[in-house]
Amino acid sequence: MEFLPVSKSDLKHRNWDTLDIIMVSGDAYVDHPAWASAILGRFLESYGYRVGIIAQPDWTKLDDFLSLGKPRLFFGVSAGNMDSMVNHYTADKKKRNQDLYSPGGEAGLRPDRPTIVYTNRLREAFPDVPIIIGGVEASLRRLAHYDYWADKVRRSILSDSKADLLVYGMGEYTLLKIAQYLENGNEIKNLTSLPGTGYMSSTLPSSPLELPAYEEVAGNKQAFSRSTRLIYQHNNPYSSPPLAQKHGVRWVVMNPPPLPLTTAEIDRIYSSQFMRQSHPMYDKSGGIKALESVQFSLVTHRGCFGGCAFCSLAIHQGKYIQSRSIDSLVKEAETFTQHPDFKGVIPDVGAPSANMYGMKGKNPDKCKKCNRISCLYPNVCSNLQTDHTPSIKLWKKLRNISQIKHIRVASGVRYDLVLKDTSGQYLHDLCKYHVGGQLKIAPEHISPAVTSLMAKPGKKEYMQFISAFKQTKNKLKKDLYLIPYFISAHPGSTLDESVELAEFLRDHFQYHPEQVQNFTPTPMTISTSMYHTGINPLNNQEVYIPRDTWERKAQRALLQYRDPKNKTLVREALVKSGRSDLIGSSRQALVKDTNFKPSIGKTRRSKSK
């Protein structure tokens, strides 16, 4: 087995004169199913197409873009596995000094917004070759969107890049259909009805849903909020019309999402063989850091029906869970045992929505007509099958592979869904066999004022899960710990809510929570819409937004109040929020200070919601 071609010498080695498709990526080339260029390339290769990869080209000149010649069918362009601005900048808009998807972790090997930059370079080099953009960056910027780093509403990336076509979501079969369409002698400009794609047009398609125009959403926050609501209400592939948004004199048209993949279809994707290594050209630089934690992980499914307001997974992969078969996953796991790097441990079996594997609606026809954004919030849908038996059966099969010593579930577990498990065995088996000591969960917050805006379960469900987890680990006599993730400075969170969460952590956890991050407004999420507009797009109500740099830092510091370097900031936040009673020598104090004397009278509190 060989890596996909990355140079003219690779083509010569294969006795190829030209390639059919060239993938251009902002990531280094890692031949692994978690890398978009690799899984797309291998999938297309399995259908007989000659595919090459240009990884992290030098965008300041044309040489790298010319390195594999002119493809027969098209260029596929992606920024990589992450949105480039998230990859480059922190939540405080500071430049990151490391890029885990680049050789040796070196930063600066891709530009900001590479989808646009790469496409423009390719147009310069090959003006007559179709260019198709995709990946997370293109998918979540497919319509007019708020850009946190520019602090403005930007046009659709399709408009800015001048690409011929945009593929959103997980695009293996979409790209295959495009390749077959072009193979048959058709022109890319005539491909206007393929689900999961977007294009620009001077005319409207038939029966579209018209969104507020770019010029309107860029200058009117109510219009932006309305556009967000319409996008989220029309994300069902079975019932949604094309979405059309005017940009100047032309229209950006997004066809409905593709239908969910069948188990056979998704198994077909993962039946491709992978080297599960970074390309040898990176060896001298130290390889690719992002590979280390996922090299022998198993992806069980795609999609998410959780509908968290700050998450873009459902708007990218879709809300329908698309699960692989147990046989497919077992076969992939068995290949690990033949790999020279494998040490007998599978570090993760799951997906971003780990315990949703194998789940679906009891009555599929109801799901096809539903425009509910979340199947779990404000309550678990009565039509949702919540039996966790598929995961239990999968784990048992994997445990029967003799060469595998340990199988971990490191993906986040949706704990409110665990509480609805009708099998009654999921948590027991999870803790007994697949938690190495720490189980990750993501309550994000516990204040109703914040969790209601996040579309997350509240403190009641969190406490129920903590109780169930403790009972299970005690029964098993195992020393296990919960590792909760929290988000500070989310829309709706004032200093008051942060103090409330800090007190909760004080009373229920005896360690310093490291898994805290300030809310980062990423493109196309409901929370980002709130951040930009100060309006909840789902009910048009005003929302308090912590924008001030000091307050954002203070909210995070409150959740990590035990860190000595946060002492001054936590003290200031407590005084400002009227909670100087939490400064002193009492057991309840968040800041220990035996000399502190609270001022007499009411202290000014944080801004109310």
Model confidence over 259-294: pLDDT tens digits?
999 999 999 999 999 999 999 999 999 999 999 999
Among candidates 276, 268, 275, 312, which has minimal Cα distance to 294? 276
DSSP 23-47: EEESS--EESTTSHHHHHHHHHHHT
How far is the CA of 374 from the CAs of 176, 367, 378, 400, 600, in angstroms? 31, 12, 8, 36, 47
Using an 8 Å Cβ cutoff, are 276 and 326 in contact?
Answer: no
Name the packing angle between helices 36-46 and 172-183 (round to 10°).
Answer: 50
Give residue 508's pLDDT: 84
Q: Are the C-beta atoms of 32 and 101 separated by less than 8 Å?
A: no
Which pLDDT tens digit goes with each residue over 540-549?
A: 999 999 999 9
Residue 604 has pLDDT above 50, yes or no: no
pLDDT tens by residue, 444-457: 999 999 999 999 99
354 band by pLDDT with thresholds 50, 70 and 90: confident
CATH architecture label of 262-270+293-410: 2-Layer Sandwich (3.30)
CB atoms within 10 A of CB 294: 18
Topology of the domain covering 8-202+246-254: Rossmann fold (3.40.50)
Task: Please tell me the distance from the alpha carbon of residue 190 to that of residue 23, in angstroms, as a whole number.
Answer: 22
Length of the chain equals 609
Domains of the chain: which residue ranges? 8-202+246-254, 262-270+293-410
Residue 496 pLDDT > 60: yes
Give the pLDDT confidence score for residue 511 in this predicted structure. 63
Nearest partner of 445 among 461, 433, 429, judged by Cα:
461
Which tokens go with 154? 């930007």
Please compute the mean of the pLDDT values over residues 123-147 and round it to a whole number: 98
- Each residue of 332-363: b (16+ CB within 10 Å) or e? bbeebeeeeebeeebbbbbbbbbbbbbbbbee
- pLDDT tens by residue, 76-94: 999 999 999 999 999 999 9
More confident residue, 207 or 198: 198
